[in-house]
Amino acid sequence: MTELLSISGLTRSFYGVQALRGVEFTVHAGSITALIGPNGAGKTTAFQCISGVVPPDGGIVRFNGQDITGWRPDRITGAGLTRTFQIARGISRLSVLDNLLLYAPHQPGEALLSATFGGGGATAEAEARKRAVEIARRLNLTRVLGQAAGALSGGQKKLLEIGRALMAQPKMILLDEPIAGVNPTLAEEIAEHLRELCREGITFLVIEHHMDLIARLCDPVIVMAEGRKLTEGRFADVANDPAVQEAYLGRRRFA
């Protein structure tokens, strides 16, 4: 399998506290890979460094054959790597449709000449709207397209987060707790969306604390503890690993 994302020696400290201590792992194209570990393991910090939200202190992030270490988030998104957030980041007063349209790539208004003199704007807007409507349809958000994002249920906001990421036409999505606070029926619906999207060629790296979902959805599973990769493998293997059990119980300490 082709390596799509490769993390090597990633370090990051905040006010003298080491959040990442030389993290190393790879994500293969066409997979739904889990990134799990106890609270404070460094999972979200890893996401922040990979997606460009915060720069790493050291190490290398390679995506699709390019060294993207320290790139701006918008440049990383343009390269095909985007992310969702645990707390939905939609603009609450805007409609679901407008929230999706905000994340359409290559909008004419982003370029100075196009914004000043026009040209191609109507076509690009129509294409973006068509894509937004299609994404809303596949995520079962069609009936709330005109509603304000702030009026959505928690599960619908999670779906809107995924839709926002899909608007960027990504090769890979970093998912931060996609079913946190979601009822079991909608959680399974979200899982099925991810399976289908993966079959269509999108790769996922997923942070999630619901182990039943990880067991059914993700392979492989990467386990972090205290800012480092602890182990990797199939869910059943890592779940039975004594070192993983100790890490979750808070007894394991790295030198």
Could you give the domains of the chain? 3-249 (3.40.50.300)
Task: Please report, rounded to a whole number, the percentage of residues in the chain having pLDDT higher than 70.
Answer: 91
- Of the pLDDT bands very low, low, confident and very high (cuts 50, 70, 90), residue 113 is very low
Tell me the average pLDDT across 107-114. Answer: 51
- Of the pLDDT bands very low, low, confident and very high (cuts 50, 70, 90), residue 123 is confident
Question: Is residue 204 scored above 90 in pLDDT?
Answer: yes
Q: Which range, of 3-7, 64-68, 114-118, 217-221, averages the lowest pLDDT?
A: 114-118
What is the model's pLDDT at position 249? 73
For residues 164-190, b (16+ Cβ closer than 10 Å) or e, as one string?
bbbbbbbbbbbbbbbbeebeeebbebb
Neighbours of 110 (CB within 10 A): 11
What is the model's pLDDT at position 247? 87
Question: Is residue 112 scored above 50 in pLDDT?
Answer: no
Task: Please report, rounded to a whole number, the percentage of residues in the chain having pLDDT higher than 90.
Answer: 75
Contact 29, 60 (CB under 8 A): no
Question: Using alpha carbons only, what angle is made at residue 23 by residues 80 and 248, rounded to the nearest 5 degrees?
Answer: 110
Dmax (CA) of the chain: 64
Tell me the average pLDDT across 61-78. Answer: 96
Question: Is residue 106 scored above 70 in pLDDT?
Answer: no
Distance separating the N- and C-terminal Cα atoms of the chain: 33
Question: Is residue 62 scored above 70 in pLDDT?
Answer: yes
- Of the pLDDT bands very low, low, confident and very high (cuts 50, 70, 90), residue 91 is confident
Question: Is residue 109 scored above 60 in pLDDT?
Answer: no
